[in-house]
Amino acid sequence: EPEVTQTPSHQVTQMGQEVILRCVPISNHLYFYWYRQILGQKVEFLVSFYNNEISEKSEIFDDQFSVERPDGSNFTLKIRSTKLEDSAMYFCASIFGGLNEKLFFGSGTQLSVL
């Protein structure tokens, strides 16, 4: 069964450093998403991406965040200058059509900012 792949599974970084989280969505999917879950909190929407541009973003997704689809397969989330509160599990998701119904999630990247 096709799946969304995320790398790395764990990332530890120092506060102020840049990190790039990588995702390979399912190959024929057109809509891509990043969500995150801070420990003990809800899963929060960060950004959606379609047709090589951001279609929607949340308040969390400020200027420190950016997304890119550098080639036909990868979808990346960059955090320019990490803060302690960025520590969370980051999930990438994709879907063929625009509806959220059956988002396919990756297994996540656990980001720890020290």
Partner 1 sequence: DQQVKQNSPSLSVQEGRISILNCDYTNSMFDYFLWYKKYPAEGPTFLISISSIKDKNEDGRFTVFLNKSAKHLSLHIVPSQPGDSAVYFCAATNSGNTPLVFGKGTRLSVIA
Return residues touching partner 1 (CB under 8 A): 4, 6, 9, 33, 35, 40-45, 48, 56, 58, 91, 93, 98-108
* Cβ-based nearer residue to partner 1, 3 or 68: 3
* Cβ-based nearer residue to partner 1, 13 or 104: 104
* Cβ-based nearer residue to partner 1, 3 or 18: 3
Instruction: Tell me how far apart the alpha carbons of residues 94 and 102 are, in angstroms, rounded to a whole number.
Output: 9
**Min dist. Cβ of residue 10 to partner 1 (A):** 10
Instruction: Tell me how far apart the alpha carbons of residues 66 and 77 are, in angstroms, rounded to a whole number.
Output: 6
DSSP states along 37-75: E-TTS-EEEEEEEETTEEEEE-TT--TTEEEE--SSS-E
